[in-house]
Chains A and B, each alone.
Chain A
Amino acid sequence: MISAQVLALIDNAFLSLVGSAIPASTVVLLAATGAMLGERVGVLNLGQEGLIGVGAVYAVIAVLSWGITSPWLALLIGMAAAALAGLIFAVAVVVFRANQVLVGLALALGGVGLSNQLGTNRNGTPIQNTFQEVSLGGSFEDGSVLEAFLFHDPIVYLAYIAMPVALWFLLFRTRHGMNMRAVGENPAAADAVGVSVMRSRLGYTVLGAALSGAGGAYMVLSFTPTWSPDIARGRGWVALAVVIFAGWRPGWVVAGALLYGSMISLDTTAQARGWELPFFGPSDLSFFLSMLPYVVTLIAILIPAGAAKIGRRVRATAAPGALAIPYWREER
């Protein structure tokens, strides 16, 4: 009897943790999906941090300086700006075959620098035209677990339900998706059967960049509706880790993003409940918990890889075979 009560309590706490992680994870989910799309065709875009920044700052500029009142339009503008940045990256690494790691880091640095510079005069100005929450199933009491799951803005539903399903279908149920995967695994083979490696890589890198930009725009149009410097705060890097954790599968990207988000909301939960860290002062738990999302993300990458090496039964989900390798037709 007691155990059932305890179980229910744990259950409830767990559900509310995951529920409150949903908005916190959306940025990472969008960026990770964008990164995964590029990596599926063999392009590693380390510039996620910069793309989130560019998407966010142009959404802010659209609202505050260009007088855009619709959050949808602001989102599109942020996505377009990030797509443009992604196009520069894609031309450098796909057309000119420059080193993807170097140019990716350049995009991360340059994108963060550019967005911070553009955002300087807009620091802290609140954004009024945010996305509004819509209920997915009647009405419920404030603060209930159901509310945490079924009361969000439309971007959340798109990012958590529509996008992964659509991408799963595209990647694993269509010929086009098979061609995409072939380009990422073995571009020479794809090329031989007439798939344009360059077009596929350019297109999906740019589309992926637009999705990452949507993550940034979502941040300022819903999650924290104001500009602040270094707005991505490492989410871009976490997104890249989530892709590895997810084994390049759209559904698992959702799980990885939620894991990160749960760690973030653990901090607010702990503060609300007045938890304390043993042997330390009362304010130390927050510092400790702020390290946790990165540590947990790191461990989440290592465990499947290590398990695959140690136990033979676990199959490792390998990266696309041609990831980060430029394709030269005459070297095949």
Chain B
Amino acid sequence: MTFGRWRLVRRLDTDARTAALTRVAGAVGALLLVGLLLLLTGRNPFWIFFEALKAIFGSQRGIEGVALRAIPILMTALGVALSLRMKVWNIGSDGQFLVGAFAAVGVGIHMDGPGWLVLTAMALAAIAAGAAWILLPALARAFWDVNEIITTLLLNFVAIQLVTWSALGFWRDKKAAVIQSTEKVPFTLPDLPGSKSLTVALLVPFLIALALWWVFRSTTVGYEIDTIGGNPRAAGFAGIRVRRRILTVMLVTGAIAGLGGMLQLSAPGAQALNAGFSAQFGLSGFIVAALAGASFAGVIGGGVFIASMFYAGLVLQTKGLSVYIIFGMYGIILTGIALGEIAARFRLERADADGGVDESGDAGGSGGVDGSGDAVLEGATT
């Protein structure tokens, strides 16, 4: 494709930095489009933007509000990002998150003992439940080659119904009158020093991100997973037990999301399960993972960003924004990310740089190594 003196050149290899930059650029472009749409529908995007900034950074409450939402979003995002390393899409993190909370509340309201013991048991139950929830899709994907997108997603609906049933049915708190929910777990996680509403739960996603980063940097397992993500057939020929790795990784992603449900449940004030327990955190987490492109440091950054947007949306609900608009925005942002991702595969080049001295430097200097990997698109788009 040529534009006057410039042409689009396709690269077959994209470095991670460019890819990340274009994804973020896509997301920012999408946000600008959202602003324009808000303007066209008679809302003032600048006012909304500054109100959002004020709501978040104006008080400790705002910052803690963001951190509180960041925990479930980060936990689901870490699971999705891990599966994306292997090019597996776990879209059921919302369901795994919910059954994690479900298992935690079940243990919490039935078990007697000291607080630390009950909370540990709750965490273990949540991890087991999250993994169990993805077991069937994982087995089907690993051994029967059944696509995991739909199977993981269908189980979200089952989880929502199960949680609703427990809150309105078998674990319902008969004393609570206003909101129908399960009985309350009497324990919460220890407070984070110096904060009003946060617990040590905030540390967990950071620790998991660190652990995952280490696994992929320094262990054979991490290397094998990346190899499978690159080319599963080649990985099989190299002696990697592909099916077994797929199964393990999917179970771990479910376990992380399940633990996220327990952390959310153990926040002061939550402690019980109701039908609206997960505000579709799994979807927010999915967007974070897509934005971060399976980089765990990126997940932390993206998670804080999406959590800020989520919190701002909640605060500004009374001022002309609604949850619906936030989800509509998510859609536009996700499209922006996907388009940014594809933009990273192209490079603008001077059309006259072809035969002569290459002015861009890198291609010419390395003896055309970079250039040979590029396919020139000149009206060759189908």
Contact of B334 among A109, A240, A329 (CB under 8 A): A109
Q: Give min CB distance, B351 to chain A, whole Å.
A: 18
Interface string of A239-271 (1 = CB under 8 A from B): 011001000000000000000000000000000
A contact residues around B337 at 8 Å (CB): 102
A294→B154 CA distance, assembly (Å): 6
A326→B333 CA distance, assembly (Å): 21
Of B65-73, B98-106, B158-166, B295-303, the one contacting chain A is B158-166
A171→B382 CA distance, assembly (Å): 23
Q: Give min CB distance, A239 to chain B, whole Å.
A: 10
Give the number of residues in B that approach A within 8 Å (Cβ atoms). 51
Are B325 and A113 neighbours in the complex by a CB distance under 8 Å? Answer: yes
| A281/B169 contact (C-beta < 8 A), A101-B149, A298-B151, A302-B144 known | yes
Q: Which of A283-311 contact B (CB under 8 A)?
A: 283-284, 287-288, 290-291, 294-295, 297-298, 301-302, 305-306, 308-309
B contact residues around A116 at 8 Å (CB): 324, 327
B contact residues around A66 at 8 Å (CB): none
Are B324 and A291 neighbours in the complex by a CB distance under 8 Å? Answer: no
| A103/B338 contact (C-beta < 8 A), A305-B146, A330-B380 known | yes
Q: Which of A206-248 contact B (CB under 8 A)?
A: 229, 234, 237-238, 240-241, 244
Q: Which of B331-366 contact A (CB under 8 A)?
A: 331-335, 337-339, 341-342
Cβ of B97 under 8 Å from chain A: no
Interface string of A98-133 (1 = CB under 8 A from B): 110111011111111110110010000000000000
A contact residues around B375 at 8 Å (CB): 330-331
Q: Which of A79-104 contact B (CB under 8 A)?
A: 92, 96-99, 101-103
Are B324 and A305 neighbours in the complex by a CB distance under 8 Å? Answer: no
| A110/B338 contact (C-beta < 8 A), A238-B154, A281-B169, A298-B151 known | no
B contact residues around A106 at 8 Å (CB): 330-335, 338
Q: Which residue of the partner chain A has the closest CB to B145? A: A305
B contact residues around A164 at 8 Å (CB): none
Are B334 and A102 neighbours in the complex by a CB distance under 8 Å? Answer: yes
Contact of B151 among A101, A114, A301 (CB under 8 A): A301
Interface string of B121-152 (1 = CB under 8 A from A): 00000000000000010001001111101110
Q: Give min CB distance, B282 to chain A, whole Å.
A: 11
A contact residues around B59 at 8 Å (CB): none
Of A8-16, A70-78, A138-146, A191-199, the one contacting chain B is A191-199
Are B154 and A298 neighbours in the complex by a CB distance under 8 Å? Answer: yes
Cβ of B310 under 8 Å from chain A: no
A contact residues around B149 at 8 Å (CB): 46, 101
Are A287 and B342 neighbours in the complex by a CB distance under 8 Å? Answer: no
A contact residues around B153 at 8 Å (CB): 237
- Looking at chain A's contact residues, the main secondary structure is helix
Cβ of B322 under 8 Å from chain A: yes
Interface string of B264-302 (1 = CB under 8 A from A): 000000000000000000010010001000000000000
A328→B346 CA distance, assembly (Å): 13
A contact residues around B144 at 8 Å (CB): 302, 305-306, 308-309
Are A103 and B334 neighbours in the complex by a CB distance under 8 Å? Answer: yes
The winner among A102, A108, A234, A238 for most chain B CB atoms within 10 A is: A102
Are B382 and A302 neighbours in the complex by a CB distance under 8 Å? Answer: no
Are A234 and B331 neighbours in the complex by a CB distance under 8 Å? Answer: no
Q: Give min CB distance, A35 to chain B, whole Å.
A: 10
Are A120 and B170 neighbours in the complex by a CB distance under 8 Å? Answer: no
Cβ of A327 under 8 Å from chain B: yes
| A110/B150 contact (C-beta < 8 A), A102-B337, A197-B382, A330-B375 known | no
A46→B283 CA distance, assembly (Å): 14
| A99/B338 contact (C-beta < 8 A), A280-B170, A302-B144, A305-B145 known | yes
B contact residues around A109 at 8 Å (CB): 283, 327-328, 330-331, 334
Q: Which residue of the partner chain B has the closest CB to A108? A: B331
Q: Which residue of the partner chain B has the closest CB to A293? A: B157
Contact of A287 among B10, B150, B168, B333 (CB under 8 A): B168
Are A237 and B157 neighbours in the complex by a CB distance under 8 Å? Answer: yes
A contact residues around B286 at 8 Å (CB): 105
Are B157 and A234 neighbours in the complex by a CB distance under 8 Å? Answer: yes
Cβ of A50 under 8 Å from chain B: yes
Contact of A305 among B140, B333, B377 (CB under 8 A): B140
A64→B330 CA distance, assembly (Å): 28
A contact residues around B382 at 8 Å (CB): 191, 196-198, 327-329
Cβ of A163 under 8 Å from chain B: no
Are B326 and A113 neighbours in the complex by a CB distance under 8 Å? Answer: yes
Cβ of A319 under 8 Å from chain B: yes
Cβ of B220 under 8 Å from chain A: no
Interface string of A182-201 (1 = CB under 8 A from B): 00000000010000111000
A306→B142 CA distance, assembly (Å): 11
Are A113 and B162 neighbours in the complex by a CB distance under 8 Å? Answer: no
Cβ of B91 under 8 Å from chain A: yes
B contact residues around A120 at 8 Å (CB): 322, 324
User: Using a CB–CB distance below 8 Å, which chain A residues touch chain B?
Assistant: 46, 50, 92, 96-99, 101-103, 105-114, 116-117, 120, 191, 196-198, 229, 234, 237-238, 240-241, 244, 280-281, 283-284, 287-288, 290-291, 294-295, 297-298, 301-302, 305-306, 308-309, 319, 327-331
Q: Give the 7 A-B CB pairs with smallest separation, nearest first.
A: A110-B331, A113-B328, A113-B327, A106-B334, A287-B165, A102-B338, A98-B338
What would 18 more interface pairs be, CB under 8 Å, given A50-B331, A287-B169, A309-B144? A92-B335, A98-B338, A101-B149, A107-B331, A110-B334, A113-B324, A113-B326, A113-B331, A237-B150, A244-B150, A284-B165, A287-B165, A301-B146, A302-B151, A305-B144, A328-B10, A329-B381, A330-B10
Give 13 A-B contacts (CB < 8 Å), ordered by A residue: A92-B338, A98-B341, A109-B283, A110-B334, A120-B324, A229-B324, A240-B150, A241-B151, A244-B150, A287-B169, A290-B161, A294-B161, A306-B140
